[in-house]
Amino acid sequence: MSALTDRLDAIRAEGRAALIGYLPVGFPDVDTSIRAMVAMVEAGVDIVEVGPPYSDPVLDGPVIQKAVADALEGGVRLSDTFAAVKAIADAGAGAVVMSYFNPMLQHGLADFARDVKEAGGSGVITPDLTPDAGEAWVEAARAADLDTIFLVAPSTTPERMHLTVGASRGFVYATPLMGVTGERASVGDAAERVVREAREAGADHVCVGVGVSTREQAAELAGYVDGVIVGTALVRCLADAEDAESGLAALRSLAADLAAGVREGRA
C-alpha cells in the first residue's frame, strides 16, 4: 500500500476517476507556477504532477517544450520543484514529480527521493526510464517509501508489460498514443486496449495520459481508468494568457470543467 494507492482507492470508492494535472515548475515564473498548481487543487484536481524543467524534453510536445525553455531562461532551480510539492501537499492534494532521469541522477538518486518525500510527495513518474534500467532508482525510492511510476504504451510487449507493472507502485501510467505529448481531437480505441492489457498484467490502478483537453474527453476516459491525466491543455492556459491573473483564471475554469468530466464518466 502507498499514499497514492490509498488516494486512488478512496476516489474509486466515490464512483469516479481521479483528475491528475501536470504543470512545469517555473512557468511563467516560479511563484506563478506554484500558485497555478494550488489553483488546480482548489478547482478539483486530485493529484498534481510537478515537472522539473529539463534542457532536452524529447518526449514533450511544442507547448510544454516552450514553457520549459522559458522556465529555464527564467532561472528555475530543482529546489523549486520541492517547494512546489510542499505547496500541493499543504493544499491537500497528492503530489508526484514527473522528471526525466538525468536531473535525478545529477542530484543523486537517494537525495532526490529523500527531498521529494520530505516535501510531502508521494511518488515519481520517470517517462524516459524503464524498470530494467532503473533498478538503482527503484531501490532508492523504496528506501524513501516513494512510489515508482513507469509508463506503458501500445508497443509494450506482454513480457515488458508484466515487468513494468511489477516495478510500478501507486499506479501505472498508460500512454496510448505513440509520439510526443499534446492535445488530441479524440481519445481513440488504443487507450482502452492499453488499460486492459495493463490490468491483465496485474495493475490495480491505471491512469491514462492521452492529450485530454475537454470535459467530454475526460468523461469518456473516466469510464474505465483510475485517473485521467491532463498536461498540455493546462499549460496552454498559462501560455496563451495576456498576464498571470488571466492565466490562473483560465486554468481554474478548465480544471473545474475537467473535474466535472471525471465525475460524469461513471454516472
Backbone angles phi, psi at 98, to 5 degrees: -110, 105
Compute the distance between CA of residue 214 and CA of residue 221 in angstroms, rounded to an integer. Answer: 11
Instruction: Choose among 78, 145, 139, 136: nearest CA to 118.
Output: 145
Compute the distance between CA of residue 170 and CA of residue 47 in angstroms, rounded to an integer. Answer: 12
Can you list the alpha helix ranges (DSSP code H) found in the chain? 3-13, 30-43, 62-73, 78-90, 101-107, 109-118, 135-143, 158-167, 190-200, 215-222, 232-239, 244-264
User: If DSSP codes are grouped into helix, strand and coil, which group holds residue 132?
Assistant: helix
CA 254, distance to chain mean position in Å, is 16
Strand partners, 97: 50, 124
Beta-carbon contacts of 224 under 8 Å, excluding residues fewer than 6 positions away, are: 192, 195
Residue 68 in grid coordinates: 520549459
Beta-carbon contacts of 193 under 8 Å, excluding residues fewer than 6 positions away, are: 154, 176
Rounded to 10 degrees, the C-alpha dihedral 57/126/88/55 comes to -20
State the catalytic residues.
Answer: 49, 60
